[in-house]
Structure 1
């Protein structure tokens, strides 16, 4: 049996969809399992023992119709028995159609259902206390006789990567026997970014943890914004922040993250990666997002997620408005709301 899963675009999506391979391997130990992903997302699934082969969509393939057509024909030549299209956009629909697999599985959409042998309707409420991101993905395996399994995404690091990260941190005067916290200072866009002034106040709370050492998660193009948050912190807190310590690649970042006691900050890929490394997370969700999409009750043992709706009543109309006027709704999401939960979360990390 030969199975292809298609999941393009975001790193968090590619990581979450990787749970399907573990479930498939358990059900079909001799199956050949392939994964179509964007090339830049590979680091989060590198060394995954359940995936036999990766097919990479490069920027060149995305931007050139002839190259994309050639890529789709490559899929056709693989002669897959089953294709699972998790992405469900024009590019993946075309790949699915080209595959000529007997079983083609995707989420139900009126205008594309005829392409697939199985069109699965998403659930809107979690049934097994997992996130909707996990539960809805597991639904795609039903046509293959696989029921829900509580599988969480996992990132696989090599020993030399971990050793290199430890050496890098120690070279930069970080004590690995003292609490080390990563701060997700920025979201993927302004509508997913907790106000800088509010974030600085939460960082002050983190800094009060005995012997706390703090890292900022940002990429070089975000340095100016990250610096703006840093400048809003007290001078004493700034001394605890190792601003220039960060991974130069995604794998380096993951190895550094694996040495942290926790990550605190905006919802996004970094928090999902931390969970996949079994690192505790304290996540601040944007007011317009549904917290249950990316956070399940079964994660509450070591993870915390906060949303404006946890503190004030929000109507459906508020959620729609929050996407258009994120700053207005973020202003209501006071650090004082979050502080006690954050302090309780941090209390377990004193060394």
Structure 2
């Protein structure tokens, strides 16, 4: 049996969808299981033992219909028995339609359902602490397995060499790994997913005051100005605990460094999902417009904790649509003051 899974989205989505390969491998040890993903997301699934081949969706396919057709033609030649299109966008619709697979599976959209042999309406209410992102994906395997698989947690697979190198790097930079070390996800993927800089600085002050810990910032080189702005807003005493220049130069390096951390704290997004997949504790601050039930995966109130403005000020959400909240995200973020988060964060730190 040959199965192709298509997940053209961000790092967290690609990592989360990787659970389908583990579930399939348990049932079909000899199957060919391939993954079509955006090229830049590969590091989070590199070394995954359940995936046979990777196919990359690049800028060429994004920008050229001719390149997209060539990719679809190549996929058709592989003669897959089943194609699972997790996200269901135009390019994946096109690839699936031309694949020739007998089983074509995706989530239900009224305008694309004719392409697929099986579609599923996504659940809106989670049944387990795994959350909707996990539960809805596992439902996609029903037509192949004739059942919904047991809950599986996403995993990142680091090599012993990567862990050794990251440990050496931290120690070279005077990080004491026998003492608390917190990775702070100071920036989201965009401004509408980034907790206000001054508010974030206040929370970092709280972390240091509560734990006397060493602090790392998660950012990439082109975000250095914004990360520096948050650093500058922290108290001078807090700044002494921040190792600002210690960060991963690549996604794999970031993950290897995070594996050595006590916990990751900060904005909801790919970094949180990666920390969970590394079995590192997390405290997540959700953007006011993001649906918490979809992405608060495996939240148990101890190892993984999160907070949303809707948790503390539900009155702001009465009769409001998600699009309205997203458009007014600045106003909602202003209402999400650090004092609403501080007590829950301190309780997490003490655990």
Q: In which range does the TM-score fall when normalised by the shorter chain?
A: over 0.9
Going from structure 1 to structure 2, the CA distance change for 1:9 and 1:340 (only over 3 Å counts) comes to same
Partner of residue 260, structure 2: 259
> 1-side partners of 2:300 and 2:13: how far apart?
18
* Deviations, residues 281-324 of structure 1 (Å, cap 9, x unaligned): 00000111111110146543410010011111222416443211
Whether the 8 Å CA contact 1:178–1:211 is kept in 2: the answer is: no
Whether the 8 Å CA contact 2:108–2:121 is kept in 1: the answer is: yes
> 2-side partners of 1:278 and 1:316: how far apart?
38
Kindly indicate whether residue 23 of structure 2 is the aligned counterpart of residue 20 of structure 1. no
Going from structure 1 to structure 2, the CA distance change for 1:248 and 1:236 (only over 3 Å counts) comes to same
Partner of residue 96, structure 1: 96
The number of equivalent residue pairs is 348
The offset of 1:208, in angstroms, is: 1.7
Whether the 8 Å CA contact 2:268–2:287 is kept in 1: the answer is: yes
Q: 2:349 aligns with which of 330, 346, 350?
A: 346
Partner of residue 141, structure 2: 141
Alignment of 1:231-242 (within 5 A): 231-242=232-243
TM-score by length of 1: 0.96
Kindly indicate whether residue 59 of structure 2 is the aligned counterpart of residue 59 of structure 1. yes
Whether the 8 Å CA contact 1:191–1:326 is kept in 2: the answer is: yes
Partner of residue 189, structure 2: 188
Alignment of 1:39-118 (within 5 A): 39-118=39-118
> 1-side partners of 2:225 and 2:251: how far apart?
20
Alignment of 1:155-234 (within 5 A): 155-234=156-235
Whether the 8 Å CA contact 2:211–2:349 is kept in 1: the answer is: no
Whether the 8 Å CA contact 2:302–2:348 is kept in 1: the answer is: no
Partner of residue 119, structure 1: 119
Partner of residue 303, structure 2: 302
The offset of 1:98, in angstroms, is: 1.3
SS at match of 2:320: helix
The offset of 1:68, in angstroms, is: 1.7
SS at match of 2:110: coil
> 2-side partners of 1:175 and 1:36: how far apart?
40
Partner of residue 312, structure 2: 311
> 2-side partners of 1:297 and 1:39: how far apart?
27
> 2-side partners of 1:315 and 1:143: how far apart?
38
TM-score by length of 2: 0.96
Whether the 8 Å CA contact 1:48–1:155 is kept in 2: the answer is: yes
Whether the 8 Å CA contact 1:130–1:299 is kept in 2: the answer is: no
> 2-side partners of 1:64 and 1:324: how far apart?
31
* Deviations, residues 19-74 of structure 1 (Å, cap 9, x unaligned): 00011111111111000011110000000011011111122232222222111111
Partner of residue 272, structure 1: 273
Q: 1:334 aligns with which of 310, 333, 337?
A: 337
Unmatched 5+ residue regions in structure 1?
A: none
Whether the 8 Å CA contact 1:27–1:146 is kept in 2: the answer is: no
User: What is the root-mean-square deviation of aligned Cα atoms in Å?
Assistant: 1.2
Whether the 8 Å CA contact 1:217–1:246 is kept in 2: the answer is: yes
> 1-side partners of 2:149 and 2:106: how far apart?
16
* Deviations, residues 92-145 of structure 1 (Å, cap 9, x unaligned): 011101111000000111111111000111111112332111111011011111
* Deviations, residues 147-178 of structure 1 (Å, cap 9, x unaligned): 14211110000000000000111111111111
SS at match of 1:317: coil
The offset of 1:9, in angstroms, is: 2.3
Unmatched 5+ residue regions in structure 2?
A: none
> 1-side partners of 2:246 and 2:164: how far apart?
16
Whether the 8 Å CA contact 1:131–1:296 is kept in 2: the answer is: yes
